[in-house]
Amino acid sequence: MEFAFTPEQEALRVEVQQFIAENVTPEIVAELEDTGIRRRGPKTREMYKEIAERGWIGISWPKEYGGQAGSRIDQYIVEEEFARAGITVGGAGSGAPAILAAGTEEQKQEFLPGIIRGEISFALGFTEPQAGADLAGLQCRAVRDGDEYVINGQKMYTTAAHYATHIYLMARTDPDAPRHRGISIFLIPMDTPGITVRPLWTIQNDPPAPLGTTYGDNRTNETFFENVRVPASCLLGEENQGWYVGAMGLNLDRVGASRYLISIQRDEDIVNWVKDNDIEGYAMREDPALRDRLADMWIEGQVCRLMTMRSMSIVETDGNFTYEGSAEKVFAPEHGVRTTETIAQMLGPYGQLLNGSEDAIESGVFAHNLMGAFQSGINHGSVQVMRDQVARRGLGMPRV
Amino acid sequence: MNVLPAEEELMVKNAAREFLDAECPPGLARAMEQDERGYSVELWEQMASLGWFGISLPEAYGGGGLPVTYLGLILEECGRAIAPVPFHSTATAALAVVNNGSDEQKQTILPRVARGDLIMTWAVQEQDPRLRADAVQCRGEVDGDSLVINGIKHFVDNFSAAELVVMAVRTAEPTDESAGITLCIVPTNSAGITETRLTTLAKDSQSKIALENVRIPLSNVIGEISQGWPATSEMLDTGTALLCAQIIGAARKDAEMAIEYAKNRVAFGRPLAGFQSIQHLCADMIVAVDGAQLLTYEALWKLDAGLPYSVEVSQAKAFTNDKCQATVRSSQQIHGGIGFMMEFDLHLWYRRVTAWTMRLGTSFEHRARVARSLLAQPGRVRLGMNIEAVA
């Protein structure tokens, strides 16, 4: 075992930190905080180009698709540093890992370099009104018609659908097959005729959550498909194998830098705040009860970090982390909730003040987190479903 | 960064498990609960012949020279097998000699430990059981070339089996420069020692030791007179990290027994494992032990890497205490009535894990140290950074 990064990796981290210090100007921060422009203004776009030019996106991807055939740990380090500044450089959610694993040569050439350049991004089209945690119950239909598929149905919580270039869509291609064996995945341009996006406003809508809030997005979407015709080349992997292709991407989506930070940023924030601040002479840092809870949360935060490192270590050595990823996706989100609720009881009435309010602490991030932290126990596989997976895949227990 | 055990580490760990599976059935721990000596001499000798006691002692003194992590992995397996041997106390005391002893002390002690010829223990706690210098009231006074000790030590492991005890005594009042503590090596058969056996939840061997004018030569002092608190603290940290390893080994085995039981026990027409409430309980048990194990491995790794590791030890022990206790309690829950019948083996693990969580620092003590160190850290804190412990 080895619990430290290499000197080269530490140097990479410092390099990224310096880049952020030099390039994330107040103007860019203003853009990142502006939910109206989806946290993407012209200056931010320019910066993304520079990030890509430095080779910091898709580090672990093969060179022929614009990556550097580098390590997943290097990629993790870059993603973590940017995520701490509120900047996502992960490379299009579940799309890219699944394309790498299951895509044709043409698809890899079509998508991966574009993702790296920031020209292509994906919305996730998985959940439906009647298929959430039980995703395999999805009903969105794709019917083969010559060289095309015709798609009809509705997707929920397609968060990036109003600005992504493509949707990574899970649809049913064989309604007669057993549920998991009649599903396929499609990569579809969002400007295809017949696709309609409608906003769904989250409880973070008003006032907007400050940057860094766990699930601070004010908007997600529902996306409708009405006789949407796409070429058969949009199919990712084999027809009716989509459940398994999707699982690869989802597994990778449940671990990593942004998942880690979602769960632990408030741990660091509260310690740093308590260290330097008191309220009219009331110094929380001297209260033994609060110190005990602070340490408790800090220790759990370390466990989140180590579980993330365990998943990354397994990925880096090409292992299967189905059980470990699920374990992490149980512990980390629930920790995020515990720490958020603990902080509320530390701050008392100050803990309820939202962004922009008189007397709000740290732009109300702790209050907004109370509306966001629990979302991480729901999104991308609920903690109940994750426990099922730990029990079944990790402990060999039967399907109920 | 690769937090998974390396191939060589796994080889040692797996070999230890195989040996203990064959040679250390639960009946041995059960028998030793009633045994006057309190440990299995035969198992001790077999372990000695495998080189376990010296594995992380320096090669120059007959040891294997491997990092302390290896010792931790073996103790994890000993915990799993609830092996009734005075290994942990011997390792803790011997490492104090490695870290701070004189060359002469190392020469006389370490080769014998490595061979399995010398059982040791340590004594720091007193009536006020907190692991801090100001709780040490047992007096030591220099008299010519002797140190004369008076006082009472509580909660000493394996005292009657041990030949030497590494003991912290007060030789001066605390000042800004020194806590006034001396660490020294006391033969357990010294004149003036009275032992009272304690009856513990684990039914293992702990004693209260009264010392009345116990005289040891000054050459038995580890380091300098009155300058021994850092060495004591280091001994406690090392011992705590190793105890965490032992606890997680036992807790994981205990959880596995519950999982196995759930797969076989039928209720309401199906195995318990077919109920989601049981599945989720088991998932939580394993996730908890995984977390404790990762914290413990990181503490051991930092110790071996020469980095500050005390805060990591406290993190590991606080989490291990709470989560492993919950794990063995959940295992009892899954077993139902049979789990608390004397003839069933499960309680052997439950009682040990529970007792061990109360030794070498409670969750409150360790969390207090984490908070103290964290809040004293200059600048902004970040998870994963190196943090110096504050006493």
Provide the mean pLDDT of chain B.
97
* Cβ contact A1–B271 (<8 Å): no
Q: What distance, in Å, lies between the first and last C-alpha atoms of chain B? A: 30
CB contact under 8 A, A268 and B318: no
Does B4 lie at the interface with A, CB-CB under 8 angstroms? yes
| pLDDT given at position A178 | 94
| CA–CA gap between residue B280 and residue B277 (Å, rounded) | 5
Please list every residue in chain B whose beta carbon sits closer than 8 Å to the beta carbon of residue A275: 375, 377, 381
Least CB–CB distance from B2: residue in A298, A316, A396: A316
pLDDT band at B247 (very low <50, low <70, confident <90, very high): very high
Q: Do A388 and B315 count as a contact with CB atoms less than 8 A apart?
A: no
User: How far is Cα A92 from Cα A77, in angstroms, rounded to an integer?
Assistant: 17
CB atoms within 10 A of CB B315: 29
Average pLDDT over residues B148-171: 98
Select the more confidently predicted residue: A265 or A61.
A265
Of the partner residues B4, B370, B382, the one whose CB lies closest to the CB of residue A295? B370
Is A387 in contact with B280 (Cβ distance < 8 A)? Answer: yes
Task: Kindly state the helix (H) or strand (E) to which residue A315 belongs, with its residue range.
Answer: helix A288-316
**Domain covering A7-90 assigned CATH 1.10.540.10 in the classification:** yes
Residues of chain A with C-beta less than 8 angstroms from the C-beta of B9:
1
Q: Give mean pLDDT, residues B126-150.
A: 97
- CA A183 to chain centroid: 23
Segment 209-238 of chain B within 8 Å of chain A by CB: none
Which tens digit of pLDDT belongs to each residue from B270-305?
999 999 999 999 999 999 999 999 999 999 999 999
Judged by CB atoms closer than 8 Å, whether chains meet at B3 and A305 is answered as: no
Of the two residues A280 and A387, the one the predictor is more confident about is A387
**CATH 2.40.110.10 fits domain A122-240:** yes
Distance (Å) from the C-alpha of residue B262 to the closest C-alpha of chain A?
A: 9
Picking from B358, B390, B313, the residue whose alpha carbon sits closest to that of residue B132 is B390
Q: What is the mean pLDDT of residues B240-253?
A: 98
Half-sphere exposure of B121 (CA within 13 A, CB side): 23
Note whether B267 contacts A: Cβ–Cβ < 8 A. Answer: no
Q: Do B291 and A292 touch (CB under 8 A)?
A: no
Which of A271, A317, A327 is facing B2, going by the closest CB pair? A317
List CB contacts (< 8 A) between B298 and chain A: 3, 302, 306
Residues of A in contact with B319 (CB under 8 A): 299-300, 303
Give yes or no for residue A300 having a pLDDT over 70: yes
CA distance B382 to A332: 17
Asked if B159 and B195 touch (Cβ cutoff 8 Å), the reply is yes
A291·B290 Cβ contact <8 A: no
* Residue A185 neighbours by CB under 8 Å, 6+ apart: A98, A102, A168, A169, A170, A171, A235, A236, A237, A242, A245, A246
pLDDT score recorded for residue A354: 98
Of all residues in chain B, the one with the smallest CA distance to A285 is: B375
Q: Which band of pLDDT confidence, cut at 50, 70 and 90, is reported for residue A93?
A: low
Pairing of strands A166-172, A122-125: parallel
Which chain B residues have a beta carbon less than 8 Å from that of A291? Answer: 367-368, 371-372, 375
Residues in B touching A272 (Cβ below 8 Å): 380-381
Write the DSSP string, A195-260: EEEEEEE-TTTTTTPPTT-TT--SEEEEEEEEEEEEEGGGEESSTTBHHHHHHHHHHHHTSSHHHH
User: Does A327 sit within 8 Å of B290, measured CB to CB?
Assistant: yes
Q: Is the pLDDT of residue A166 over 60?
A: yes
- What is the per-residue pLDDT for A381? 87
CB-based contact A184:A143 (threshold 8 Å)? no
Angstrom distances, CA of residue A9 to CA of A4, A66, A78, B137, B140: 9, 21, 10, 48, 51
Radius of gyration of chain A (CA): 21
Q: What pLDDT does residue A254 have?
A: 67
Query: In which residue ranges of chain B is CATH 1.10.540.10 found?
Result: 7-118
pLDDT(A92) > 60: no
Of A268, A272, A391, the CB nearest to B280: A391
Q: Which residues of A366-377 are buried (b: 16+ CB within 10 A; e: fewer)?
A: bbbbbbbbbbbb
Residue B266: strand pairing partners: B271
Contacts of A4 in chain B (CB under 8 A): 1, 305
Q: pLDDT band at residue A397, thresholds of 50, 70 and 90?
A: very high
- Residue A60 pLDDT class (50, 70, 90 cuts): confident
CATH number for domain B230-376, candidates 3.40.50.410, 3.40.640.10, 1.20.140.10, 3.30.420.40: 1.20.140.10
Q: What is the pLDDT of residue A253?
A: 65
> What pLDDT, on a 0 to 100 scale, did the predictor assign at position A251?
66
> Alpha helix (H) ranges present in chain B?
7-23, 26-32, 41-49, 68-80, 87-100, 103-115, 229-264, 276-305, 310-335, 346-357, 363-376
Rounded to an integer, the average pLDDT of B354-373 is: 98
By C-alpha distance, the chain B residue nearest A319 is B4
Task: Say what the ipTM of the complex is.
Answer: 0.97
Q: Residue B19: its pLDDT value, please?
A: 98
**How much is the average pLDDT of A229-244?**
95
CATH 2.40.110.10 residue ranges for chain B: 122-227
| Each residue's pLDDT tens digit, B53-73 | 999 999 999 999 999 999 999
CATH 3.50.50.60 describes domain B7-118: no
* Among the four given CATH numbers 3.30.70.260, 3.40.50.150, 1.20.140.10, 3.40.50.1220, the one describing domain A254-394: 1.20.140.10
d(CA A316, CA A308) in angstroms, rounded, equals 12
Mean pLDDT of all residues in B366-390: 96
C-beta atoms of B2 and A271 within 8 A: no
CB contact under 8 A, A331 and B291: yes
Contact at CB, B291 and A303, closer than 8 angstroms: yes
Report d(CA B199, CA B196) in Å as an integer.
10
Inter-chain contact B318–A299, Cβ cutoff 8 Å? yes
**Is the CB of B266 inside 8 Å of chain A's CB atoms?**
no
pLDDT of the residue at A91:
57
Higher local confidence (pLDDT), B19 or A93: B19
Cβ–Cβ gap B295/A299 under 8 Å = yes
| Nearest of B367, B257, B387 to residue B320 by alpha carbon | B367
Q: What is the band of A318 on the pLDDT scale with cuts at 50, 70, 90?
A: confident
Residues 279-318 of chain B with CB under 8 A from chain A are 279-280, 282-284, 286-287, 290-291, 294-295, 297-298, 301-302, 305, 315, 318
pLDDT of residue A165: 93
pLDDT of residue A32: 87
Q: If you average pLDDT over residues B226-230, what whole number do you get?
A: 98
Other residues' Cβ atoms within 10 Å of the Cβ of residue B60: 12
Instruction: Judge whether residue A247 has pLDDT over 80.
Output: no
Nearest CA in chain A to B369: A295
Chain A contact set for B380 (CB, 8 A): 268, 272
Contact flag B276-A400 (C-beta cutoff 8 Å): yes
Single-letter code of the amino acid located at B247: I
Whether residues A302 and B263 touch (CB distance < 8 A) is answered with no
CB contact under 8 A, B273 and A397: yes
Q: Which residues of B187-215 are buried (b: 16+ CB within 10 A; e: fewer)?
A: ebeeeebeeeeeebebbbbbbbbebeebe
Using a 10 angstrom Cβ sphere, with 0-12 exposed, 13-18 middle and 19 or more buried, the burial of residue B22 is: exposed
Give the pLDDT band (50/70/90) at residue A94.
low
Contact with chain A for residue B382, Cβ under 8 A? yes
Nearest to A311 by CA among A329, A324, A327, A302: A324
- List the beta bridge partners of residue A168: A124, A187
pLDDT tier for residue A252 given thresholds of 50, 70 and 90:
low
Which residues lie below 8 Å from residue A314, measured CB to CB, with a gap of 6+?
A320, A321, A324, B4
Q: Give the model's pLDDT for residue A316.
A: 87
For chain A, domain boundaries? 7-90, 122-240, 254-394
B122-227: CATH topology is: Butyryl-CoA Dehydrogenase, subunit A; domain 2 (2.40.110)
Preferred mutation among B276, B383, B387 to probe A, highest tally of A CBs within 10 A: B383
Nearest to A308 by CA among A77, A107, A63: A77
Lowest mean pLDDT among A129-133, B37-41, B250-254: A129-133
pLDDT digits (tens, 9 = 90+) for B38-58: 999 999 999 999 999 999 999
Asked whether A205 and A196 are in contact (CB, 8 A), the reply is no
pLDDT exceeds cutoff 80 at B78: yes
Containing A73, the helix (H) or strand (E) segment is helix A72-84
**Under an 8 A CB cutoff, do A397 and B6 touch?**
no
Phi/psi at B208 (5° precision): -110, 130
